[in-house]
Chains A and B, each alone.
Chain A
Amino acid sequence: MHISIQTLRSLVDLPDLSPQELADKLTLGGLEVEAIQAFEDDTILELKITPNRPDALSHMGIARELAAICHTRTTFLAPSIKELGGSIHDLVQISVVSKEACPRYACRVVEGVQIAPSPDWLHKKLLSLGLKPINNIVDVTNWVLFERGQPLHAFDLDTLAKPKGRIALKIRSASAGEKLLTLDGKERSLLETDLVIADEDKAIALAGVMGGKITEVSNSTQNILLESAYFEPRGIRKTAKRLGLSTDASYRFERGTDPNGVIAALDRAASLIQEIAGGRIRRDAADVYPKVIEPLEISLRPHRLAQFSGLPEVEPAELRTRFLALGIETSGRAAHDALKFRVPTFRPDITDEIDLIEEAMRLIGFDQVPARIGFRKSLDGKSLDVSLDKLERHMKTFLSQAGFFEAINYSFGSPTELELFKATDLLTLQNPLGEEYSAMRQSLFPGLLNNLRHNLRQQVQKLSLFEAGVVFWGKNPAGQKPEMANLTAHNMAADAYAQEKLFLAGVSYPGDFFALKGILESLFDSLKVSVDFKPLSLQLSFLHPSQSANIWLQDAPLGFLGFLHPDFKEEASACVFALDLDLLKSHCFKPIQVKPLPKFPGIQRDLALVVDEKVLAGDILGVIRNFKTLKPILEDAKIFDVYQGKGIEPGKKSIAVSIYLRDLEKTLTEEQVNLPVESLKQELNTKLGAVLRV
């Protein structure tokens, strides 16, 4: 909002401050000045007013603030009015049908005006505020809005229906489908939730938002009906939002104007019109205000202010003086040392003690509050589950030290790209930024592969990336209304509606399956978690069917690892992996229990086994590890060589495995070892057809 310093000076006794100093005072008072511009001999401040302060959307509002900040006083003049002729009641009758939406409606009639361009002073004022001068009548209504914050509207009186010589104004809901041509020349189709001003025949204005075209003040206008009203903010906002219309009027009404400032603004505008455009103001104002909105009385406990702010306790006398500058008057003494204040209706943001505390702190200055840390340090033994954060951080640190760069991509992507990665129950946005951002991701790969392509285009030849992020499933695709939440778990997401899981995925290019598997194995070792890599059994169509593995954590699928499917062409030489961190979380960081160091020497036995080439190394290790006779003394078993070629029958391969045996209680003897190892050979032969290589 634009504020003219010249106008401000006419409304408040300001000390001799430069525009910058004034701006700083306002900014530190919570009315942020974003820019200062010269306009002819005036200076214009551009303010950003927060939505809770409709009272500050005018010169008088800002003047009041400055009076409080600078310990000075405002010099507002009460408007005086010279009435002439018959009463308005002989000509206009108002009936407010929608009493809730329109608590107050008032108007005046000015007859015999001369439509002309505004005088220089008004012309300049409007230009300086970034407004377009139109004619002396419209300009006055606009100017009074910027002066006092009360939106006004002028109708050409002679365009209103006047059966039996009387105008019957109705403030009512629009009927569904009712049409109104607004001032901007657009025909609006209205709903029952919209409020209109109407004469006998038709809607003449969209209440609080925009006037109608037909009743607009034109060059031939002679008589005007001037409206000043208080509309309920929510209704105005709904209409303005639905129609995508934000006017100076609707902007103020939807934030809350002063119901008790309606007449002063009306009189001010009427007398200004008379002064500039001539004419006679009819006697009386029509004013429908059945239920007067009274100022609120609110108590403030000075000790609560001190406690809450950390400021030393403020003397009641000082508080009273400070508040009075803002128009907040003392209203006797409440119980228990509390002070009672009467809050003017132009401050709809002040409804509770906390609001008065804020005002007091704002006036005293946030800079007066000391900086200290007085809160208790301990959490009294209460602790939250932080294992997911710990796990995520551990993995990021580990992978970054293993050569991976962390990527961060948008959580929404293209449904087509996501479909490539086996999407089910994709959750889509109702108002996406575009088709390519319309589905919540269910896989981290579309993002990572885009990153890979981007980097390959920059002549990068080798690249490893990972990303940790939430992936989403719709749980309620029928679109039923979600139920309220269970409040503790992280992944209950929008509860009944969506499921969120934290995944970590990576891509390594060009891919080296065993290098990547090795990194993951070390990672799991570092987490003290044991997992199984097994040939793909879960259908993952985007992976190479025979160069990929499912990773199992006990009986649950933890993730996968492998080459991309050749369908991916260029990226198919990349190896990828993905892990479910929510699942992994509950299995790692278990407390460590140290095993005693072995007191007795162990024995190592190496076996070279010839098997069919389809037999997997993992099968051999599985048989060894599960072989009961050997179990009590089996410490470890490792593959150390795989061989195919000369000396081995075609279709077969030789796998060499080391078996480490140890008895924790005593030194193993050859006899103790020989027998079980012999029967292990038998077992390997029975189960896998393995024979010793000779």
Chain B
Amino acid sequence: MSFDVSVILGALPAILSGLQITLGIWLASTAMGAVLGFVVAALRHFGPQPLALALRLAVEVLRGTPFLVQIFLLYFGGPFIGLSLDPVPAGLLGLSLYAAAYFSEIVRAGFAAVPRGHVEAAQCVGLSQAQIVRRILVPEMTMLVLPQAVNMAVILLKETAVLSIIAVPEATATISAIGSQQYAFVEALFLLAVIYWGLVEACGRAGQALECRLSKFRFA
């Protein structure tokens, strides 16, 4: 028995299709999670009390349980409440909700970290509450949470692998299946590790470059 990754690479088209699905689900759920997380944070801050409480509970449940369990429940438990989803939509929905819970906390902390004086300065020159949110709070918050948001995106990328258990044909499912067929399971997992690490590294670099470009906006 020898260690030979080329056995796996023979199935390149299948690998690329798996990668494509991984990337697609990752980017879509990160984007939806960020938008939804922002809405949740805003509703928890400005919305009516009962809604804020309900959202808080939802966020805490999503943050307090393993993603593996959540996705199992959504996929296999969903049909009991009339929610029968195919693997890919289920994965997309599950990961987006999971992401939203974490993003909402990041955004909430970001809003809280904007110095009170910056808001008071805006009040003093006559900006309305809505204008303050749009012109001051959102841009400053975005700047503040950028590092955590990139970090969260990296975590989500790795969580996409969990979707293999509900048969989403993403990279982990595809490549490990090829590995089993070719009797090269270790090689398959090795290749997977290299791919994920490469993506995480690229994501981190992109985040750093972005932070660097925005550094002149940093708090004085």
Do A and B come from the same complex?
no
Q: Mark B residues whose CB is within 8 Å of A.
A: none
